[in-house]
Chain A
Amino acid sequence: MTSPARRRLTAAALAAGGLLLAGCASDAPQDTWQPEGPNAQKIHNLQWPVFAIAGVVGIAVFVTVAIVIIRFRDRGQPIPEQTHGNPALEIGLTILPAIILAGIAVPTVATVFALAETDDTECTINVTGQQWWWEYDYPVAEDGTICGGYTPSNGEAASPIITSGQLVIPTGTKVLLRGTSRDVIHSYWIPALNGKRDMVPGRVHYLRLEADQPGIYAGQCTEFCGLSHANMRMEAVALDEADFQAWLDNELEAYTPPEEGTLAAEGEAVYIQQCARCHQVNGLTDPASGELVVSAPDQYVWSGAAPNLTNLMTRNTFAGATWDLLTESCRDDVWNASPEEFGAKYLEGVTEECLNQVDLREWLRNAPAKKPMYAEPEQLTETDGKYRGMPYLALSEEQIDQLVAYLLERK
């Protein structure tokens, strides 16, 4: 063998080996072999026997081929007698795979139907995809409750909750996501909780989710959706009943303006001036005019939406769940918490000590530099001058300080 060919072979072998070893990673939050809920478990129950059968068949084929290649290789012996056709063998080799396929088909079809079931839904949540983040809204059902039986503890009537990036669900509850998209096709996938579901503009598709244990389950958009597709991630956060109630109460709490004279109060003014045209903070009124501040993202953003920032600091990632709002140690503390401790830690939200200043400031300083988005004028001709993503806003460092102080109180 010539040496370049050998070198190429070595490189290929190394790459294949590396890929194989990557399968052994223990810290792999998107591992499809670690189901954390009944829906993913159903898929798992189907995939491992299929994988096992296919593995056995595969190994048998490779071993046979190897034996034939070595034992019958050309050593100058005469060509053996040629046979044409062997009905028994041919029929056998047709029937055997047919039986295997039929055997696999029965549980597969059963699983497909079981995963399409919607009648047993206990909690309905709407999810809307857009470039490049997910929005969730929790509608108020006919009976006045949210997510199958929750109402605010303070006795007030429920109103819909709206959030983004992190989906919060109660554990042990059959959640049904009703999903659509505002711009192009996206696909929702939390591997630990269920398979993928495309979210298509103009259509409503649904996806069952259920988590057994409190915790964070990571996922990502799996339908190529443009420039920042790789930065369109999402997380499902499961909380037990009491913690979910606490989360819901907090989400529906009325807006508390920052104390007068503080940095955060200055931040509120900057926010109203710079951010409120796209982002909604529910209940925010302009202290100058006393009027409700209502965003109009449909006029500036192509998808017509920007994340609702009312409770930004209750989530712990931002911008398509791509960057952490928590510093590394605080993040590990929450993400690696035991199921018993997880809820309390998650509900603490982002505190001043734990805020990941670096990424948030970089985002505010120049969002398109951090996450590729269409924000330059020449990129906007196809979208009527509307941005796809958040634009560069030329904020001063002082304004950024003020905004961070303001945002830190949004929880």
Chain B
Amino acid sequence: MFTNGSKLLIGATVAAVVAAVMYGVTQDGALGTIGLVSAAIVLAFLAGVTIAIRDGNVPPGDEMALATCAAAQRAPGASIWPLAGALGAALVVVGLVVHEALVMVGVAVIIAAVAEWAVQSWSERATADEHVNDEIRERMASPLELPVLAAVGLGLLIFAFSRVMLTLTKSGTVVVFSVVAALVLAVAGIIASRKQLSSGTVAGVCSIAVVAVLASGLVAGVQGPREIEEHETTGDLAASGRCGVEETEADEKASQTVSAKSNVSATVILREDGTLVAVQPGISGESTSLTLPRSNPNNILFRNETPEERRLVVDAGPIADTEETRVLCTALVEEGGVQLLTVVFDKPSFAVEEPMQLTVPGVETAVMPVVVP
């Protein structure tokens, strides 16, 4: 007496009635109850209709209809998609406990599974012709499936790659990827030299490669990235008052060349005789003092021509609302090396008590006054 469709609808009606009662008892306000009762009425009506027309099934006696009517064809075949949907649901539940991102993945999987399942069961019974049905399915789903799958696949591959690179040591990365590149070249060479090759072989090779990448990505991801050291900078030196003569970690790591050299405010040179001179664009000859605009990031290059390692220190005047002076410095510069320093003087020099100046710790003669108008 109960057809398949009506069972579903009757179940839904019962659920709606139960929900309406529960809502009415536990919650304030009638709106929810009204909605749920309305839903129950509509569902009950639909259930009645389905029972009356026996799910729209073709009566067994009607030969003609049996041959052509889509609804009279075999029932939809077994589908993998409910399984995928269940996986998605499981991911959502696990994600709620473990990580937000997993919930998102789960929801995406559920949406994809539902969409696929719907397209599949619809297309399988779209017409009486099985081949046509297959084609319909392809035409519906491929334009969506292919790009999404490609994006997800690429994303996974790239992510796996990046995990591997983050985990390997600096030199290890070079070795591993040289080997991998050579391997790719070799395999490609073999494939290219073959006169004939079954598509199965190519697919096999590619699958092995993909699995290898994903697996190593997984291993690397679990391992975590290698330790990436933080370099101390000259900014840290200034902040901790270590602009002196001693060598620090920042000095050890400091590069001794500067790439952008043109049109800086000034190049300040520590001469072998221990004096500081400045060369400024647009001013011919050397000067022994600098005039720099106020509140302006001035780029100053420091070049050391003495055999000892030296750094340039700038006393840039008082820090607003404090007693301290702002001190900046370069890293230690070896003979012939160059470092860049960007300095802002935010007070005019007539307004400060401590002189604004450039100095070199350890070289008493190296003092260059800075005038800020």
CB-based contact B282/A294 at 8 Å: no
* Distance between B62 CB and nearest chain A CB, rounded to angstroms: 69
Q: Does residue B284 face the partner (Cβ distance < 8 Å to A)? A: yes
CB-based contact B265/A139 at 8 Å: no
Surface stretch bound by B, among A165-173, A228-236, A295-303: A295-303
Contact-residue size bin, chain B (C-beta under 8 Å from the other chain): 20 to 34
CB-based contact A139/B281 at 8 Å: no
Chain A 290-316, CB within 8 Å of chain B: the 1/0 string? 001010111100011100000000000
Main secondary structure of the interface of B (DSSP, over half): loop
CB-based contact A137/B320 at 8 Å: no
Indicate the member of B287, B293, B350 with the most A CB atoms within 10 Å. B293
Interface members, chain B 242-296 (any A CB < 8 Å) = 262-265, 280-285, 287-289, 291, 293-296
Which of A142, A176, A296 meets B320, CB within 8 Å? A296
Surface stretch bound by B, among A13-21, A197-205, A347-355: A197-205
CB-based contact B296/A204 at 8 Å: no
* Distance between A330 CB and nearest chain B CB, rounded to angstroms: 30
A124 nearest CB neighbor, chain B only? B283
Q: Which residues of A contact B280 (CB under 8 A)?
A: 178, 204
* Distance between A1 CB and nearest chain B CB, rounded to angstroms: 50
Q: Which residues of B contact A141 (CB under 8 A)?
A: 287
Which of A124, A202, A294, A298 meets B351, CB within 8 Å? A294
Give the docked Cα–Cα distance between A54 and B298 (Å): 44
CB-based contact B282/A178 at 8 Å: yes
CB-based contact A178/B295 at 8 Å: no
Q: Does residue B346 face the partner (Cβ distance < 8 Å to A)? A: yes
CB-based contact A182/B295 at 8 Å: yes
Give the docked Cα–Cα distance between A135 and B373 (Å): 11
Q: Which residues of B contact A151 (CB under 8 A)?
A: none
Q: Does residue A160 face the partner (Cβ distance < 8 Å to B)? A: yes
B295 nearest CB neighbor, chain A only? A304
Number of A-B pairs whose CB atoms are under 8 Å?
Answer: 88
Give the docked Cα–Cα distance between A137 and B342 (Å): 20
Q: Does residue B59 face the partner (Cβ distance < 8 Å to A)? A: no
Q: Does residue B56 face the partner (Cβ distance < 8 Å to A)? A: no
Indicate the member of A182, A201, A205 with the most B CB atoms within 10 Å. A182
Q: Does residue B54 face the partner (Cβ distance < 8 Å to A)? A: no
Q: Does residue B371 face the partner (Cβ distance < 8 Å to A)? A: yes
Give the docked Cα–Cα distance between A203 and B295 (Å): 14
A201 nearest CB neighbor, chain B only? B297
CB-based contact B296/A182 at 8 Å: yes
Q: Does residue B348 face the partner (Cβ distance < 8 Å to A)? A: yes
Give the docked Cα–Cα distance between A6 and B262 (Å): 56
CB-based contact A178/B347 at 8 Å: no
CB-based contact A204/B347 at 8 Å: no
Indicate the member of B262, B265, B281, B295 with the most A CB atoms within 10 Å. B295
Q: Does residue A161 face the partner (Cβ distance < 8 Å to B)? A: yes
CB-based contact B287/A142 at 8 Å: yes
Give the docked Cα–Cα distance between A178 and B264 (Å): 11
B291 nearest CB neighbor, chain A only? A139
B347 nearest CB neighbor, chain A only? A294
Q: Which residues of B contact A297 (CB under 8 A)?
A: 295
Interface members, chain A 59-75 (any B CB < 8 Å) = none
A293 nearest CB neighbor, chain B only? B351
Give the docked Cα–Cα distance between A280 and B295 (Å): 13
- List 7 extra interface pairs beyond A205-B263, A294-B351, CB under 8 A: A142-B289, A159-B350, A161-B373, A180-B265, A204-B263, A297-B295, A304-B346
Q: Which 3 A-B pairs have the closest CB atoms?
A: A304-B295, A139-B291, A160-B373
Q: List 19 A-B contacts (CB under 8 A).
A: A118-B283, A119-B284, A124-B282, A138-B373, A139-B291, A142-B288, A160-B371, A178-B283, A182-B293, A203-B262, A203-B264, A204-B264, A204-B281, A206-B282, A294-B351, A296-B346, A297-B295, A298-B294, A298-B344
Binding site for B on A (CB under 8 A): 118-119, 121, 124, 126, 128, 135, 137-142, 159-162, 176, 178, 180, 182, 201-206, 280, 282, 292, 294, 296-299, 303-305
